[in-house]
Amino acid sequence: MAAPTGARRPNILFIMADNLGYGELGVYGGGATRGAPTPRIDRLAAEGLRLTNMNMEPQCTPSRSSIMTGRFAIRSGTYAVPFGGVPEGLTAWEVTLGDALSAAGYRTGLFGKWHLGSTEARLPNNRGFDEWYGIPRTTDEAIWLDSPGYDPSIISPEPILEGRRGKANRTVATYDLDQRRIIDGEVTKRTVDFLERAGRQGQPFLACAFFTQPHLPTLANPRYAGKTGNGEWADMLAELDDNVGTLIDTLDRLGLRENTLVIFTSDNGGEFIKPWDGWSGPWRGQYFTALEGGIRVPMILRWPAAITAGRVSNEIVHGADIFPTLASLAGAIVPSDRPIDGIDQSGFITGHIAKSAREGFPIWCGNRLQAVKWRNFKAHFYKQDTMRSTAERRNVPFLVNLYTNPQEDEDKSWSGSWVLAPILKIVRDFEQSTLRYPLIPMGTPDPYHP
């Protein structure tokens, strides 16, 4: 489906938080109850569509991979956060969201966290983005320099990089705890600069502001330290809300409000490691698990030219749907030579279709098919309550009706085994697709050819 009648191809401002739990924002039950109201993000929700059943993969790298390619990360060898020792990230064979929209005439920029490859060839400016600034991997590496025994001659500290298409990346700074506090402010500043330049040129754009908050260590910008009086987490939440507000104000100031699709979401469920653990609202679990708290995230979309304000929907959407949906709206080409697991949801988000185009999806934790979600039902094939728990294979699937058992409480048995028919069909369909299109192993170097 192309852009709705009467609307031009939209500009796209894609804002993503890192490990922001479902229950953190005011409009999702958090905000003031977490020590910091979130008025700007709440207003954004009131001006567009708020999803209550948006689902991601349960780790950072897999979720970002599925967003960028429209493919479940298990297909791309990006099914888990990489810990070194092998080539990491997306092979050059994968077509990214940046590739697709650039080919369709969009100006593209990505600012913030990447986590899909840290070698030169796999960084954003070589993966479809005209420019980028940020960290190639993850925020917990900022702790390394203050860790007893750390030796940079063994493994170098993470750099903050900037680069432009076709040119070598440049190291801006070392990502230490001081930089950790200020990086989201810089992401905001650079995204604003990109929006101003793109707005003057009149070229449609994809601007990705991929914030690092609230990923551990959750440390607010010094300008926000102590601002709420309710601790570091609340200070961070106030900062995040203000940064989003700054980006929205920039669109309005530039006269880009009407035909810019703004997306706000999180890459996966809430932070688990104490004392920075987040809140999943009504759901149990956090990232690295197949529980709802690991995969269900906030998702807000505003596009005044095409999305009716004040809509709320509990229809199922998955992160893999972002690629084909944005490609459809932008008039971009979705690859046809590989399985695309995402589904075009443009008709649903614009209100032309009441129902989501998706009914369910498989859930991998690492390379384990851990569960399947279908409508309001779920089958767990493994028991795993936290990222540190051993995943125990179940003799029979644990079946959940999320309407009656939203906490996925093991003590609440449910005998609706009929749901295994559509659930196992999802499994069979995926397995059949791998016979023709084998999975790419993790650590696969370039060049890769299927």
pLDDT category at 87 given cuts 50, 70, 90 is: confident
Classify burial at 2, counting beta carbons within 10 Å of its beta carbon; exposed 0-12, middle 13-18, buried 19 or more: exposed
Distance CA 39, CA 422 (A): 41
Q: What is the pLDDT of residue 2?
A: 47
Contact between 291 and 316 under an 8 Å Cβ cutoff? The reply is: no
Contact between 358 and 51 under an 8 Å Cβ cutoff? The reply is: no
DSSP state of 296: E
CATH architecture of 361-436: 2-Layer Sandwich (3.30)
Residue 67 has pLDDT above 60, yes or no: yes
Q: Which helix (H) or strand (E) holds 422?
A: helix 420-436
Residue 308 has pLDDT above 60, yes or no: yes
Q: What is the pLDDT of residue 247?
A: 98
Contact between 333 and 109 under an 8 Å Cβ cutoff? The reply is: no
Residue 339 has pLDDT above 90, yes or no: yes
Q: From 3.40.1030.10, 3.40.720.10, 3.40.50.150, 3.70.10.10, which CATH number describes the 11-358 domain?
A: 3.40.720.10
Residues 436, 437, 438, 439: is their CA dihedral positive or negative? negative
Q: Between vectors from CA 344 to CA 196 and to CA 439, what angle results, nearest 5°?
A: 105
Q: Between vectors from CA 242 to CA 237 and to CA 244, what angle results, nearest 5°?
A: 95
Classify burial at 78, counting beta carbons within 10 Å of its beta carbon; exposed 0-12, middle 13-18, buried 19 or more: buried
Phi, psi of 383 (to 5 degrees): -105, 120
Distance CA 66, CA 76 (A): 9
pLDDT tens per residue, range 382-439: 999 999 999 999 999 999 999 999 999 998 878 889 999 999 999 999 999 999 999 9
Of 97, 308, 94, nearest to 205 (Cα)?
97
Q: Around Cβ 29, how many Cβ atoms within 10 Å?
A: 14
Q: Which helix (H) or strand (E) holds 362?
A: strand 360-365
pLDDT tens per residue, range 253-296: 999 999 999 999 999 999 999 999 999 999 999 999 999 999 99
Q: Return the structure tokens found at 343.
A: 């589904």
SS3 411: coil
Length, in residues, of the chain: 450
Distance CA 363, CA 350 (A): 27
With a pLDDT cut of 90, the percent of the chain lying above it is 95
Q: What's the predicted TM-score (pTM) here? A: 0.97
Q: How many CA atoms lie within 13 A of 204 on its CB side?
A: 22
Q: Where in the chain is the domain with CATH 3.30.1120.10?
A: 361-436
Phi, psi of 150 (to 5 degrees): -65, 135
Q: What are the DSSP calls for 232-252, one per residue?
A: HHHHHHHHHHHHHHHHHHHHH
Contact between 283 and 291 under an 8 Å Cβ cutoff? The reply is: yes
Distance CA 81, CA 93 (A): 20
Q: Where in the chain is the domain with CATH 3.40.720.10?
A: 11-358
**Active-site residue (options: 60, 208, 365, 380):** 60
What is the pLDDT of the chain when averaged over all its residues? 96
Q: What is the pLDDT of residue 82?
A: 87
pLDDT tens per residue, range 133-178: 999 999 999 999 999 999 999 999 999 999 999 999 999 999 999 9
pLDDT tens per residue, range 208-255: 999 999 999 999 999 999 999 999 999 999 999 999 999 999 999 999
Q: What is the pLDDT of residue 7?
A: 55
11-18 and 260-266 as β-strands: parallel, antiparallel, unpaired? parallel
**115 part of the active site:** yes
**Active-site residue (options: 115, 215, 318, 380):** 115
